[in-house]
Structure 1
């Protein structure tokens, strides 16, 4: 995939953000923010992701969709419904190789344990078992921004590098997935609004019943408190 003479504005913003970001302890750079595509990728894959984003944004706009900046990311707008895009690098798991500092800390701990064996647990784990590192394999996810991450239906589409196809080869399918995903987002939104409306109606009914009950109780108390008329 060749770099265009001029990047799409959102791809250009992503490029600048990636240049400014620093990799975490696992080697991943993370981007987010107003008008910034949400990514989590290895430090060496920034150029590929920027070109991927540029091609995707142009393909979506050519299909008549809008790309808009949101508070924490970038959204695709399809028939008034918003879809969030994420690009991430799949993590590989490798057995952790202890550092010199970790080996020295273990040696010091073993020395102290021999001196006071009852104070130290011989089964202590001195370092993590696994490291997670960038794999070079990319993944693109479409997310319903109105759903929480813990909800099983918050992901509406996902594509990733395979042995025979790179993520770039799926971009046309992603564009189609955006169109079908918008219908899913609308369905989820309408269902949530309906559920919220029913909840509010039930709350108002309970409040109305409680108010009526309290009013009847006050009337009863008022009649009870009146003095009895003498019949003599």
Structure 2
């Protein structure tokens, strides 16, 4: 089976409510390729390695969380950007990107998928943070130490997190934001949560953890954001009856 490119973009825009979300890059179609889509490769970032994998799979489109044309980046197409876009154009492959819409989707988003993997229950979005769903809070299925929760993360994500364990008490409540969400640790502390989980850490993040008495876990930007685009791909494969292949390009960050 196949789907027309404009129909695919329209379907994704509607499913991910992309028109309602202000973002740092254009969401939807970023590079136009074939009009008829039979095979889609999904992945976290539109790296050259992912494009090469899409060519190998004879894909008509690539769907990613991290695409191109970010606010503040150079607009010229040279070097690495030229090589990537050149391969897309030479092989007539469309690049489709959804950044924040894939972070915040209540079922298929990165935050929702991470909660499922880690068994977090009573999940709610922190209403004061926009867009809704960027910062989440919930409860662990059963209280556990920071060390135990670190082992659970390692098992679920195949990557050991960096841990700042400061409370010496069991963790019951947790806030999280996948990817580069370390700045939200202060809001999590303000909410009185026991712990905060994200992908990355900055130097000041550890001081925030220590001084505000909140356990902190940095489980990797890539590792925490594998599962949203994968879930979206699996959903459209089922709904639109097209071939979708998830390719995980290893990234230790």
Larger RCO: Structure 1 or Structure 2 (Cα < 8 Å, ≥ 6 residues apart)?
A: 2
Normalised-by-shorter TM-score class:
under 0.3
TM-score (normalizing by structure 1): 0.26
TM-score (normalizing by structure 2): 0.25
Larger Rg: 1
